[in-house]
Every structure is written in structure tokens, then in C-alpha cells.
A and B are shown apart, each in its own frame.
Chain A
Amino acid sequence: GQNIDQPTEMTATEGAIVQINCTYQTSGFNGLFWYQQHAGEAPTFLSYNVLDGLEEKGRFSSFLSRSKGYSYLLLKELQMKDSASYLCAVKYNFNKFYFGSGTKLNVKP
């Protein structure tokens, strides 16, 4: 819903940096979330942006540009355990939440 677009799959090397992009429809925007989901498990909250700019939490950072309808999740010092799907979720007016289809990240040794 709401044209939330993410790349389907990405591959990166252990120790490297990877950026996962997300674009979304801007009308009615109320906040953007990033979740990590390992296969067969529940999504785990990573970060939240409601204002423009960068939010940093350890190895994970998330950036938001509301005017461009664009966000990215930056993962530094990649570890094998970071192999998972990364879901971009957007809250719109009237408490509507929509998830993107997710980006499957493969971390290789």
C-alpha cells in the first residue's frame, strides 16, 4: 500500500557498509519505521524517523527526507547475523500503517 518501494534483495560483505533505500507516497505522512525480520520470526524495531535528518543508533542509522518521500537505513560493520529482511513501514494519517515488501540482505564472509 501507498507505493512503499524497497529493493528486493541486496548482498554485502562482512565488515562493509550497506545502504537500503525506501521511497513512499508523501501525502498524509506521519512517520517512518525500520524493522528487521529474520525468517520465521517477528519483526524487530530498529529505528524511527518523523523529522528530516539522520537518526543514529550504534551500527544502524536511518535518514529521512519528507519532501522527497525518501529514507534509507545504513548498516555499518556488517556482521553475518545481519542477514535478514529489512522492512520499511510508514504511518499515515488516521493511524494507517503500511509495510514495504522488504529488502532481503545477504551478508557474505
Chain B
Amino acid sequence: DTEVTQTPKHLVMGMTNKKSLKCEQHMGHRAMYWYKQKAKKPPELMFVYSYEKLSINESVPSRFSPECPNSSLLNLHLHALQPEDSALYLCASSQALDPRKNIQYFGAGTRLSVL
């Protein structure tokens, strides 16, 4: 089983709303990732968690706030977003960050529209 589950599949929010994206995996993976993907562009890394600790923040604006409450769950809290934040948000997980253990498996994504 290489399933990463993301909810919701679609989300429409206003610029003053607060919402959260959720990601779950039950593969025993200890590294989890958030990516942002705009149309016809490659995924761009946002955050990396390793053993529930934030390992990488790729200079993401503070209106995006990640959280890793346990080894299976990864959240992305959204607040005061801008229309240009509209994109597909992808979650991925890998066994670890070590070489040969960092093959990433992706969820289907949450398509976010900010009005």
C-alpha cells in the first residue's frame, strides 16, 4: 500500500477565511512534504518534516502554517491567503530523508481556489 490521502479534494476560500488541508499516510513513513503546483508548472517544495519536526521551510509566507501532530498526519493551515495562492497543493511522504529511503509517494492533492 503506497497511499497518501489528502482532504479535501477541492477547496474554495475567501481571503479572510481560515482553512486547513489534511494529509494522512499509514505506511510508517517518517518524512512528509508539502508542495505547491501551479498549472503546467512543476511542483515546488514548501515544507519538509522529518520525525515530526520541521526540517525545511522554503521561505514560505507565514500565511501558510504547517503542523505535524503525529507520524501519520500532516496539516497545512491557511489564513489570509491571496488569489495568487490558488494552486494544487500536494502532500508526499517517504520512508525517511536518508539516501535510498527518500522515494516520495504523492497524494492526489487539494485544488485550492482563493477568491
Bound Cα distance A91, B103 (Å): 10
Among residues of B, the one whose C-beta sits closest to the C-beta of A45 is B103
B: number of interface residues (CB 8 Å): 22
* Chain A residues, CB < 8 A from B56: 94-96
Cβ contact within 8 Å between A33 and B103: yes
Q: DSSP majority for the B interface?
A: loop
* B64 in contact (CB, < 8 A): no
Measured CB to CB, the closest approach of chain A to B11, in angstroms, equals 16
Report B-chain residues with C-beta under 8 Å of the C-beta of A35.
Answer: 106
Q: Which residues of A pack against B, CB within 8 Å? A: 30-31, 33, 35, 41-45, 48, 50, 87, 91, 94-102
| Complex contact A45–B104 (CB within 8 A) | yes
For A101, list chain B residues within 8 Å (CB). 41-42
**Residues of chain A within 8 A of B90, CB atoms compared:** 42-43
Contact of B99 among A41, A43, A50, A94 (CB under 8 A): A50
Q: Within 8 Å CB of B66, what residues of A?
A: none
Is there an interface contact between A87 and B42, defined as CB atoms closer than 8 Å?
yes
* B83 interfacial contact with A, CB 8 Å: no
Interface residues of B in 52-71 (CB under 8 A from A): 55-56
Chain A proximity of B68: nearest CB distance (Å)? 15
Q: Are A43 and B106 in contact (CB under 8 A)?
A: yes
Contact assessment for B104 and A99 in the assembled complex, using a CB-CB cutoff below 8 Å = no
